[in-house]
Amino acid sequence: AEHQHARYNPLRDDWVLVSAHRVKRPWKGQLEKPPPEDVPRWDPNNPLCPGATRANGEVNPQYEGTFVFPNDFPALQPDAPEPGDSDHPLFQAAAARGVCKVMCFHPWSDLTLPLMSLAEIRAVIDAWAELAAELGASYPWVQIFENKGAMMGCSNPHPHCQVWASSFLPNEARLENRTQRQHLSQHGVPMLLEYAEQEAHRKERLVVENTDWLVVVPYWATWPYQTLLLPRRHVCRLQDLRNGERDSLASIIQRLLIKYDNLFEVSFPYSMGWHGAPTGPYLEEDCGHWQLHAHYYPPLLRSATVRKFMVGYEMLAQAQRDLTPEQAAERLRSLPEVHYKQRAK
């Protein structure tokens, strides 16, 4: 807890420098603006609201639950041309095709997932699984991700996520595919299934748990309050979850996100995303080395206005963190599970 050391991340096959004493240093750097508390529930000029007109001229339906539509500014399109042959191995390009969708979680702009009901969160999970199965029927990778808060690049306060399906395995997917395959080959058990069992037993990095799931600050965490959401059962893909597991997933997501918001009593920014076994042509292959999981990467370090910057040493050498994962887990674990906005005055 007091001395710097490096920790190995077997999922990414890299290392993180842990320098817990650095959190004590004075801070005279940038202070972030807390997110606005006065977001209107409905705004006709907000393109994600029911009945609003989007940039392409389409009008949203008066939806009452989740709402999925094609991204009006997609990073991937299904009909992109081939880039052509390279004339040198140092200048390579490859085809990149796919589709991008947006999913609104709820019709109200002033809500976030931790303030939604369990039934509403369960509807989001079902929509995630449906999209993963639908797009995964033809695309090798379906990336579900949520950027929450302006600090993490979110351009709209409405509760929503994005789903990008690609004709290729992205870098993180290829890396996790390799490391998990190697672990199963060497140890005879899926890496993250074994890891979940170890963390459930050790408990020092445990944040929340229930019958089907657990959330930990991983031993190799990079971001200050980074967490990893893991099923206890061997599950390869989101669409493979049983009915009861989806209910308990809604509960543990709500509990985690309430703790996040309660940490600094602010709508906690993060980027999160689901990783599971590849799809498309990989549906015909044995992907038993994969274990479904979700990553949460929040940037805040000391307060609602002081964030962790991944610059300098992190960009040029390796990742570095300013408090131990055990310290972060203990702080999150000790927080109440009633949202600060819903406590009795």
- Which pLDDT score is estimated for 144? 98
Pick out the residues of the known binding site.
Answer: 22-25, 55, 71-72, 147, 153-155, 162, 176, 275, 293, 295, 308-309, 313-314, 320
* pLDDT bucket at 33, cuts 50 / 70 / 90: confident
Who wins on pLDDT, 307 or 246?
246
Pick out the residues of the known binding site for Fe cation.
Answer: 176, 275, 293, 295
Mean pLDDT (the chain) is 94
Residue 7 placed within a domain = no
- Tell me the average pLDDT across 39-57: 94
Determine the structural domain holding residue 128 and report its residue range.
39-79+94-336
Residue 20 placed within a domain = no
What CATH number should be reported for the domain holding residue 319?
A: 3.30.428.10
Residue 15 placed within a domain = no
The per-residue pLDDT for range 225-253, each reduced to its tens digit, is: 999 999 999 999 999 999 999 999 999 99
Which residues touch 30 (CB under 8 Å, ≥6 apart)?
Answer: 307
Q: Hunting for tokens 């009901």 — which residue is that?
A: 117
Question: What are the catalytic residues?
Answer: 160
The per-residue pLDDT for range 155-171, each reduced to its tens digit, is: 788 999 999 999 999 99
* pLDDT bucket at 24, cuts 50 / 70 / 90: low
DSSP designation for 166: E
Task: Pick left, alpha or beta for residue 288 (phi over 0 → left; psi -120 to 50 → alpha; otherwise beta).
Answer: alpha
| Alpha carbon distance 57, 72 (integer Å) | 10
Q: Would you state the torsion angle of the CA atoms of residues 127, 130, 133, 137, taken in this order, to the nearest 10 degrees? A: -110
% of residues, the chain, pLDDT over 70: 97
Residue 27 placed within a domain = no
Residue 29 placed within a domain = no
* pLDDT bucket at 38, cuts 50 / 70 / 90: confident
Pick out the residues of the known binding site for UDP-alpha-D-glucose.
Answer: 22-25, 55, 71-72, 147, 153-155, 162, 308-309, 313-314, 320
Res 345 pLDDT > 70: no
* pLDDT bucket at 150, cuts 50 / 70 / 90: confident
Residue type, 340: Y
Who wins on pLDDT, 44 or 36?
44
Domain count, the chain: 1
DSSP reduced 3-state for 14: strand
Residue 8 placed within a domain = no
- Tell me the average pLDDT across 89-117: 96
Would you say 113 and 124 are in contact if contact means Cβ atoms under 8 Å apart? yes
Residue 106 placed within a domain = yes
- Tell me the average pLDDT across 46-73: 96
Residue 243 placed within a domain = yes
Would you say 171 and 61 are in contact if contact means Cβ atoms under 8 Å apart? no
Cα dist from 80 to 54, 99, 208, 230, 279, whole Å: 24, 11, 44, 36, 21
